[in-house]
Amino acid sequence: MRPEKPAAAADVDVDHIAEAARLERTADLYPEDAEQLLLQAAAHLELAGARDRATSLYDNLLSPSAPHPPSSPLLIRALKASNLWEYGHEAEARAIIDGVRASAPRDPAPWVIVAESLESHDELEQAHAAFTEAATLLIPAATEPPYATHPILFGRHRVRRLLGADHDDWDALADQVSSSPVPLDELHDPKRVWSLGSENPAELRAEIARIQAELGSYRQALSRPFPVAVLHWPAPELTELLTAYPSLSSEYPSHEAHLSTIESSLRELSASGTPNLGIVTGTVPSYEAFAASEASSPEDPSLLPQYATTLAARGRAVAWPPEEGAGCWCGSGRGYGECHGDLSA
């Protein structure tokens, strides 16, 4: 659940220190997008073993003197606690974890990070308690659990298997939402670790098959499309964008046409049965920072949908269509039904 975990985390040839430095330089250039860039930099530093430097980045993000207040302070605190515990600062990490849990975040990510940190240090009862607190708070009864909460259910299921606990209703729900071809009971079987030391080729092949299935499930989760999001540029931002990068005029002939295209595209997607539609609002500094992180030019139109997906991944998507009586997504100040939602228009 770490946000924006480096895609090349498993690539031993990656110079994580150099990549962290590049992201820090980019964050200096684009302070409005600094939080996500510095979280990525901290992840690289952790992978490089420079955990003290990663802690400094977390502290900088949480500092009252930071240029912008963090959008996800509890997430940053959870990441900091997880990192601190890994290099010997257990007491401080525990104190932060207790504080995060007491704050009862409405975002699943901090819960998963603190619970997995407890689990990784054999604090299974506390990990179970944290996962259960999160499930009780974030997953409404008798409803389909939001996709972002699935790691809570899976983590809780895993810890309960380690504790030898019987299945309960939350475990049944985890089984229900799991898309893995291998049942969760098998994936989370504590005895699996013993088979890795077996000299029996059949047992080893069976375990390899299970691991491949588990990795496939994780890969599917990581690559799962975020709510399909269409990119919206407010009029001042679109003017700034086209002034800086006139070649994008072919994508946006006018602001009015841009707004009409957004609404028509979303209506077509909805009519085709595509779920989880949303709109993300772009800014030029954020877009330029994204282009820099991709080592590409902002003038490349193929970056635009990637940028939209990245904003959605960061939780910036607003659901479409707006709720009945809500204002229009375009920012006109009128109700959606009287603006772009007017079907008679």
Q: How confident is the model at residue 146 (pLDDT cuts 50, 70, 90)?
A: confident
Cβ atoms 110, 99 nearer than 8 A: no
What was the pLDDT predicted at 104? 96
Q: How confident is the model at residue 11 (pLDDT cuts 50, 70, 90)?
A: very low
What was the pLDDT predicted at 203? 60
Q: Tens digits of per-residue pLDDT, 125-142?
A: 999 999 999 999 999 887
What was the pLDDT predicted at 211? 58
Q: Which residues is 335 bridged to in the sheet?
A: 327
1-10, 75-84, 146-155, 196-205: which has the highest mean pLDDT? 75-84
Strand boundaries in the chain, DSSP class E: 229-232, 278-281, 318-319
Q: Which amino acid is at 303?
A: L
Question: Around Cβ 162, how many Cβ atoms within 10 Å?
Answer: 16
Could you give the angle at the alpha carbon of 110 between the alpha carbons of 149 and 5, nearest 5°? 85
Residue with tokens 């670790």: 193
Question: Around Cβ 160, how many Cβ atoms within 10 Å?
Answer: 22
Q: Tens digits of per-residue pLDDT, 46-56?
A: 988 999 999 99
Q: Is 224 helix (H, G, I), strand (E, B) or coil?
A: coil
Q: Tens digits of per-residue pLDDT, 292-331?
A: 878 889 999 999 998 888 787 666 788 888 887 889 999 9
Residue 318 is given by DSSP the state: E
Q: Which amino acid is at 302?
A: S
Structure tokens that stand for 284 in this block: 């030029």
d(CA 337, CA 343): 8
Structure tokens that stand for 280 in this block: 């993300």
d(CA 275, CA 147): 13
Q: Tens digits of per-residue pLDDT, 162-188?
A: 888 999 999 999 999 888 777 888 777
Q: What is the pTM of this model?
A: 0.60
Q: Tens digits of per-residue pLDDT, 215-246?
A: 555 444 443 444 578 999 999 999 999 999 99
List the one residue out of 76, 83, 72, 70 whose CA is nearest residue 58: 76
pLDDT at 17 over 60: yes
Across 102-111, 125-134, 189-198, least confident range: 189-198
